[in-house]
Structure 1
Amino acid sequence: MTNPSTTRPVTLYRGGVLHCPADPGATALLVRDGRIAWLGVDADAPAADRVVDLGGALVTPAFVDAHVHATDTGLALSGLDLSGVRSAGGLLDAVAGFAAGLPADAVVLGHGWDESGWVERALPGAAGLGRAAGGRRVYLSQASIHSALVSEAMLVACPEAAGAAGFDASGWLRRDAHHVVRAAALASVSREQRVAAQRVALAHAASLGIAAVHECGGPEISGEEDFTGLLALSGAGLPEVYGYWGELGGAARARELGAVGAGGDLFADGALGSRTAHVSGAYLDGEPGACGHGYVSAGQVRDHLLDCAAHGMQGGFHAIGDAAISTVLEGFAATAEKLGVERVRAARHRVEHAEIMSRRLIAGFVEFGVVASVQPAFDRLWGGAGRMYESRLGLGRSLESNPVGAMHSVGVALAFGSDSPVTPLDPWGSVRAAVAHHNPVQRMSVRAAFAAHTRGGWRAVHRDGEGVLALGAAATFAVWATPAGVDRGLPVLQASDPEARGAEDVTPLPVCRRTVLRGEAIYEEGSA
């Protein structure tokens, strides 16, 4: 029997516009014990302990961000954000201004620079960074988080980096050298700073209508203490956290750490921004013939997925370039030879990013039931003529990147995310990016893109009944002001004039007023 003193009040939300395809005329919903107990029109609403007047606001299922790095996001939100710098000089000025307020022994941590959009793409060297920072150690991750600029003091503090793959005395480090220095830089963050950063990130997510995130951790990304500490915050007045631990052959360890899967950022390759994504055709702006780097073999992929099966875990890989994705799918095929295709499909293994695809690779996702955890904002920021993808790959190959429309059209399960802080937490912006893909062939409808960013994220963690406003479903939703209006239960995200549409559309996006997770408000506009 329920203890009356712990029973949560029954709450009626009324006077809204509900995204409820099963009852499109609904204006109100009743929440009891964390679930939707009634849906309908205001006039028929049952009695409740508490009534919330929605004032005509839109109510939708809350968002799920299917790929985040919470600690890095929090540090970027509260620290040195370099996403706005447009030159080497601007970067050095930002470092100097930020470092001036730090103790002499502090490490300067920054994130977000992206030289692909600079007029002059020359980068400052390790010595220049050191001078700007007053001799302090400096670690500045590139937007992709797959490379970083570091100061001379940081190189001195990490002598083992000099013998690792990807080392460059200029201070721009990639691959193994970057992992070495990244670990040292993050070790400088105290436990208190880390927890504060995680709370900042999750609270910010809640303020954007995000009720759950998929954290992609691993020994090369965050470390066990960071990962388990974040999982401990899950749902405690903040969004829920579903963790993926990216360690090859680490299914047992992933389960011990509380992860839902042994995957996420388990690297099959690097990133396009750092020219380390493994592509089948050489980069146009890199060393002659360079195609990036593949970090796993098909046999390793197979063995990892077999290990996941043995421990009842979902698996997956980070794979961006078509060569890396091809290797991963070879491993899937080898796994299916051992376990059978249906068992592989039932696991809903994931591939993160899946940026450079072909029809053959998309068919492989369909065959093996692979969930594509993708980031539409990548196309918005780096796709199209004159941007990073064209510089790296050429215009033709760049227009084939991030093929969300092609994957959706043949039934690939999509889960949208941000890869924050690679791109900002911005769920409606991601939906619009999928709707306004630079390549018209790859565009999705608002309804399909919204589903990928809500229900798709829940399905990716095997919670199939979530992400809908329906009788008996979890009361997990967001309340929105919609300055551009509502069309068939979803916000208007594009200009009415087709000539004003596209990646730079300035139509105002919805603003979150309240985020509710299983009946409890985790964000209310105006609350402290």
Structure 2
Amino acid sequence: MAVTDGVVVWIGQDSVGHALHPDAEVIELDGAFVAPAFVDAHVHATSAGLLLTGLDLTKSSSVDELLEKVRAAEGPLVWGHGWDETRWPENRPPTRAEIDEAAQGKTVYLSRIDVHSALVSSDLITDEARTADGFSADGHLSRAAHHLVRGAAKAAITPEQREAAQLTFLRHAASKGIASVHECAGPDISGEDDLRELLAHTEGPEVVAYWGAHELPGVPVRGLAGDHFVDGAIGSRTAALTEPYADAATSGALYLDGRQIADHLIKCTELGVQAGFHVIGDAGMAAVIEGFALAEKALGTPALASARHRLEHVEMVSAEQAQQLAGWGVIASVQPLFDAEWGGPTGMYVQRLGDERGVGLNPFSRLAAAGVALALGSDTPVTAIDPWAAVKAAVHHKTEGHGISPRAAFTAHTRGGWRAAGVMDGLTGTLQPGAPATYAVWETGDLVVAGSDARVQRWSTDPRSGVPGLPDLTGPAPVCVRTVLNGRTIYERK
């Protein structure tokens, strides 16, 4: 492959390439393979960076272990993330009294794995939070109360800490073969200053910014989309359901109704920007369907569909709804590692929703079969940035029949991410003459190919290749050697 000025200009036989480009700088790959770089279609850069530089609770196995980590953490602010009480023997989070005791005077903010609720020390709780929806006198906070205390915790992060977190995240993403990330920012998530500083960084993957609110911020964004909340999350019992949760007397929270959704879609379509929403529960999806139907009546189908509005997560969706979304040109930004983490007959979804509903989430094949365009992402720090693991999870879904092919999954995590951000040139996200030279180089081990008399050969694990003996994504993932964005190397393994 030959690259000039950041563009692929030729692909073909090695000897021909050397003849056509005799003065080129040559990089020998020694058996590694090249593929289009990944795009992570849903990230929260600063929060993900704080997980990498701060208190990682994703592996905590009990209440006592979490509390011990808080005691050992340095202050004055302890920012942690990733606890999941559904995996603990106590099957409960710590109380506020337990957090205060472990804090020993430090300010503590610990977001749940889904970032829709948090454990906090008492000094973070304002009078406004005490009267807000989702407040608990001695437990974790959710809904509006959580947004208020999260804002207070964010204000305690120094500019130096924020910059370090953002740069750590961008470098980490590049090391995973990712050349672009979609930052899903918003007033209740990160704030304008955070987004402005993130966009100012020139190293690492390209950042595509979304703002989850009704009004445009003072920062350039691709759309008023991303985490514009229609509802919450299953784990925090805030995703809006048509029937109550199996393990609690609540049906979650609906933050936007059909009319509000329609107004947002109409406004964004007329402004020429993408609209989008975070939606997880079936009642949330019903509101989204109602909103799109109302917007279609006002705008007409061609105008609405051509805007390529997007939905984040889309965890509970019927076959009929999937067909409707496809007709409206909707892009579904989905996270396969959600199923890997919480799907299956014994996972958190079943705990929260019961046996029948709990195994029906994240039906990627249903969306794809209906013609809904898919873009894969991590929602990091909710799940790890690990694109090969996401491709594997999309293929090997824990509910039979919900997975998609390796080719479809790989395409959704590469070209699909560019399309979701409005890049529709037919070249970006591919490797062919005229395409941006945005790719990753991957190293694989020696693999024994079936039917080859046990000869050891080095095979590409590019899941699109169709090579006989191609691994089925159940073995070790390829290791990134180099990540290139528009011809510029943004990561090289030392």
TM-score (structure 2 length as normaliser): 0.94
Shift of 1:445: 1.1
Measured against aligned partners, the alpha-carbon deviations of 1:305-353 in whole angstroms (never above 9, x if no partner) come to: 1111221111000000111011012111111111101111101101100
Instruction: Tell me how far apart the structure 1 counterparts of residues 412 and 165 of structure 2 sit (CA, whole Å).
Output: 27
Cα deviation per residue 1:427-452 (whole Å; 9 max; x = unaligned)?
00000000100112011111110000
Cα separation, 2, equivalents of 1:31 and 1:212: 19
Q: Find 1:414's aligned residue among 368, 374, 386.
A: 374
Residue pair 2:323, 2:371 contacting (<8 A) in 1 also: no
In 2, Cα distance between the equivalents of 1:216 and 1:175? 18
Name 2:454's counterpart in structure 1: none
Moved over 6 A (4+): none
Query: 2:72 aligned with 1:85, yes or no?
Result: no
State the partner residue of 1:523.
491
The corresponding residue for 2:452 is: none
Looking at structure 1, the residues matched to 58 and 91 of structure 2 have their Cα atoms a distance apart, in angstroms, of 15
How many angstroms apart in 1 are the aligned matches of 2:287 and 2:459? 44
For 1:77, what is the secondary structure of its paired residue? helix
Distance 1:48 1:393, change over 3 A: farther
Q: 1:282 maps to which residue?
A: 244
1:444-455 equivalences under 5 Å are: 444-455=404-415
Select 1:133's aligned residue among 103, 122, 126.
103
Deviation at 1:492, TM superposition (A): 10
Counterpart contact for 2:463–2:470, Cα < 8 Å: no
Q: How many residues align?
A: 476
After TM superposition, the structure 1 stretch with the greater mean CA deviation from structure 2, 482-491 or 291-300, is: 482-491
Offset, 1:171? 3.5
- Alignment-derived partner of residue 212 in structure 1: 180
Match of 1:240 among 200, 206, 214: 206
From 443, 448, 453, give the equivalent of 1:481.
443
Deviation at 1:49, TM superposition (A): 3.1
Instruction: Give the CA deviation at 1:462.
Output: 1.2
Say if 2:463 is the partner of 1:490.
Answer: yes
For residue 113 of structure 2, the aligned residue among 139, 143, 160 is: 143
1:309 correspondence with 2:269: yes
Residues 1:270 and 2:270 aligned together:
no
Change in Cα spacing, 1:492 to 1:279, as seen in structure 2 (3 Å) is farther
Which of 16, 20, 40 lines up with 2:12 in the alignment? 40
CA distance in 2, matches of 1:247, 1:489: 38
* SS of alignment partner, residue 34 of structure 2: strand
Runs of 5+ unmatched residues, structure 2: 448-457
CA distance in 1, matches of 2:436, 2:444: 24
What aligned pairs does 1:33-432 form with structure 2 within 5 A after superposition? 33-45=5-17, 46=20, 47-98=22-73, 101-102=74-75, 106-155=76-125, 158-233=126-201, 236-248=202-214, 250=215, 253-254=216-217, 256-287=218-249, 290-432=250-392
Match in the other structure for 2:402: 442
Aligned partner of residue 11 in structure 2, secondary structure: strand
One-letter amino acid of the structure 2 residue matched with residue 366 of structure 1: A
The aligned counterpart of 1:21 is: none
CA distance in 2, matches of 1:64, 1:396: 33
Q: Alpha carbons of 1:491 and 1:480: their partners in 2 closer, same or farther (altered >3 Å)?
A: farther
Give 1:129 shift: 0.8
- Give the letter for the 1:145 counterpart: V
After superposition, give the CA deviation of every residue in 1:479-522 in whole Å (9 maximum; x if it has no partner): 001235646843899xx999xx8xxx862001100000000000
Mapped partners of 1:497, 1:70: distance in 2: 34
* Equivalent residue, structure 2, for 1:13: none
Task: Kindly provide the amino acid, as one letter, of the partner of residue 85 in structure 2.
Answer: E
Identity %: 48
Deviation at residue 229 of structure 1 after TM alignment: 1.2
Distance 2:34 2:370 in 1: 30
Task: Give the root-mean-square deviation of aligned CA atoms.
Answer: 1.8
Out of 504, 510, 516, which is 2:478 matched to?
Answer: 510
Calculate the TM-score normalised by the size of structure 1. Answer: 0.88
Distance of 1:492 and 1:31 partners within structure 2 = 22
Unaligned runs of 5+ in 1: 1-28
**How far apart, in 1, do the equivalents of 2:205 and 2:493 lie?**
16
Determine the C-alpha separation between the residues in 1 that align with 2:100 and 2:332.
Answer: 41
Aligned residue for 2:291, secondary structure, equals helix
Structure 1: distance between partners of 2:248 and 2:23: 64
- Residue 110 of structure 1: how far off its partner (Å): 0.2
Deviations 1:350-394 (A, max 9, x none): 110000111122122112111000000000000001110000111
* Partner Cα distance (1:89, 1:393) in 2: 27
Task: Tell me if structure 1 keeps the 8 A contact 2:444–2:461.
Answer: no
Q: Which range moved further: 459-468 or 473-482?
A: 459-468
Structure 2 CA distance for partners of 1:85 and 1:429, relative to 1, 3 Å: same
Task: Output the CA distance in 2 between the equivalents of 1:122 and 1:349.
Answer: 38
